[in-house]
Amino acid sequence: MKSENVQPEDLKWRCDRCQCDLVVGPVTVEYMTNHFTTDLPYCPRCKTVLISEVVATGKMAEVEQILEDK
Ligand SMILES: [Zn+2]
């Protein structure tokens, strides 16, 4: 299984609501009762965070690693 950061192809995504190009930046998400900040693609206009299955899988693996290290 791959556990990589956001890839260039992720940036091709557009917001469904306002057709903005997504930007990648720090976004606070919640996972297993923990809040953490990570870089994810989001819409700069309506703040919708796009988490694809691939990105989510990679990010969740990263987060689990972070949590295990605590
Ligand atoms: Zn939008």
Residues 3-57: tens digit of each pLDDT:
566 565 555 678 888 988 888 888 887 777 888 888 888 899 998 887 766 666 7
- The CA 7 to ligand 1 mean position distance, Å, reads 20
CA 46 from chain center: how many Å? 15
Fold held by 3-69: Ubiquitin-like (UB roll) (3.10.20)
Per the CB < 8 A criterion, the answer to whether 27 and 38 are in contact is yes
Interacting residues of 32 by C-beta distance below 8 A, sequence separation 6+: 67
- The CA 47 to ligand 1 mean position distance, Å, reads 6
Interacting residues of 30 by C-beta distance below 8 A, sequence separation 6+: none
Residue 1: DSSP 8-state: -
Comparing 59 with 25, which gets the higher pLDDT? 25
- Residue type, position 13, single letter: W
